[in-house]
Structure 1
């Protein structure tokens, strides 16, 4: 499962040469060491997957590691399942405990294991792009070895049968039984009897050989038929998988589209600070319910994508304190409703690299879980620390706690200690499972501790990070709320009238001068004749969709107009469409329903923080 986006600029001649050497068994060990140095580490081992035994082996060129090494096999299978992971394991060569990081190719043919920590982010991105080439080579080697083994057994059996047949033919031709029959004096056995015996044995052998040939032909035909059935089944599975993806994408779009109008208008009403407290209370309830619905949709879609191995991480440089603060701000209304205090203490200086949106989702899930199981008047603490190599985030609540016997099952999907809690507190039981998957995809780990019932719970998240050499400086929490968007001219394109009205009102509330249109063709005409500072567009539109529209925008002859900052606002949430939108030229892709503050924040960063 690929977790990085192709970036040709990262593929250097040095890396290509390393992967060429990895194709050759005699060069593999040395090439793997050089690859580790390329990634900023000292050691790397290649493992090949054997689907038949469901085990991983070191290929030709490496010292064999026992298939009975259960910790290693468990780790390698986890890497193959989620794309990448980290662990503490015993080095099979030095027999010392060491941190390891594994990454697999999309088809799970092979796993690269780096010793000593996580590779540098840019190097890992490039390696992940090249890895399918090595995976395909190792798969071919495996298939060739199996074919060679089968051929050797067939040749051996044929040679034995031929030798026995020749021996019996000689006996029959010479009329002598000396080669295979010893006649003792006084016995009634005659030479004629020996000839008959030899002839019968020869006939039986010929029959057996004929039957073997028939059996082989039948077996061959069955194998061909089985192969045809398997190919047909694989094609049907691929078709079903594609249809499932299309169905999930459609469901996502249809569920999010009405929520976009509900949440957008509710936020606009809240920003107007209506006098009637009951109306304000109702607006808050609408916003809470809509956000809950959005997050339930996200959890279902993310779980489906994780199981299918289709989650893609969008790597960027970000400030972890900003991610934590954004998550805290999102859940603050839920905490206020229960009079729960959330205290934050961020001792973070270095920037991090990873998918900030996915990590924000992790901490949102953890905070929602803490709020859900903390009684009225309780408290939650967020503590973040960094040692320059790893960041550690602790979320501590004074809630109902967890029984010791249930702690190992906390991160399993659909699991709750008491089924009655689901009816009382709601939810699908997916949030913690998703959080664990996203943390591990970043090469981190997540743990949970509790002293028991009514003694609170602590979730501890460890994330590796590399200080950015080329990213933007981090922002202090709250600075992103200062928007200066007056006199900004925006063009918004959406075929849905409710969506157009909502985005127009949101942008206008921040002082933006908005022009809206329901057609990509009309938008292209406007871009040719009028001046705009930012472009917002839907993806799924009739006649010309957002991808084709953005491609044409970037092809406008006037370079200033062609390079207008652009945001995609889409009710689709699958990674493939996000990648497609970015490839077409969108600078930012946002999933509907879009929160007013998030939209203003994205436009501010896009215009003023290039």
Structure 2
């Protein structure tokens, strides 16, 4: 909604806003203030110091020249009216202020035109009547033109300085409003957290007290226990959301990726949320197709994504409503769609639906509880897994749809843990493994493990030794630690893939690291490793990885 300033009639801009307050100001008179408004009365005009002002008549080019014309006309008429009193003395007396008015309220162009017109009118109607020689008349005209030019320049400089000062004041007001809004947001957040945490706690304490004092039995006891369990779950989820948000903001959130099936993760999330849908009297239908290729992901965090989306759907769908879950895959990605016929999302709130601590204002007065963190956390986890998430809604009361797209990696064969759970001692017989590990204890442990399963191990402690070993001996598989002093595992695989010997450049390789960061896995695969293992490496997983690499055809992985 657009508003005008009640002091000067100028355009009002929104400087900052929170859930309950909005800071607004006028760029003409530079006044600003805070109002208590709801989302329906929010000012929708552009805000910020860089937003363009709406150009009225006085700010248009035509308006500038109109002001200059009026100033010169008034000056000429007044001077003409004063001619019987002062005669032809000071012919340019009133044209000088007209030039200043044209420069201040117009611009340089109108001021120059006003100077020229004033010179013509003054020279023709007043100087010529004096009867002075032509040379002297032109001197006085030239002097007026010079004075007019100086006045135009000075006025323009003053106007520019005033404009810069006004812009600085507007930026200062905007920054102050944003700071006050941030402080208000913090207070609102503390109030919201206090309310949301106390609500389930009060329910748990109330029912616990009722059980103790009234000695509940039978159906009444079951109702009490159900309420306690349900609210304890809500409390746990709220605390977990706050902790996850804190870890995300401080960069301390760690993923533990492993080979998982997207369809199994979705099924687990659906089963976890099924009691909630039953309690809310909602119909839940699922169409989960088996995803052909698994992905490397943190199963706990990925399940949390779908649990948050399903919880959101259950929360904003009225009893008797319907929620559907569809999981399928394309050639390169897994697609999970969660659709409901609930309250929907307004077009104003839709761009902010994944922002932290944001809730649709239409739900603030309802009984819907929550901190507004679930979707923000879900987006972060999806993006950390290299995927995307988006929300679609046609508007209020028209339901909403959330689509999660996760990249598949069919070219990276999954390590089948079940196939070699009890791998025989000779499972790696005939295979030669180059092991690069700077830590002596880890190198000895991995060497003995591989030798137990029949592999011929070439253990080295650095990337340089690995290159020398490959130059002298043949290796079927390379296992290399990523974090080593000097030349690390990434630099080693780069040198191997760029090498001139095609046999060495195409050796199948797996990286090994104690790091839990998903970025390390992505960097390793991008650099040229086919598999990525985490310490401590399970012996069966190690054997399975070596066999998987050994079965790979030796393709040319050279980097040009």
TM-score, with length taken from structure 2: 0.39
For normalisation by structure 1, the TM-score amounts to 0.37
Work out which of the two has the higher radius of gyration on C-alpha atoms and give 1 or 2: 2
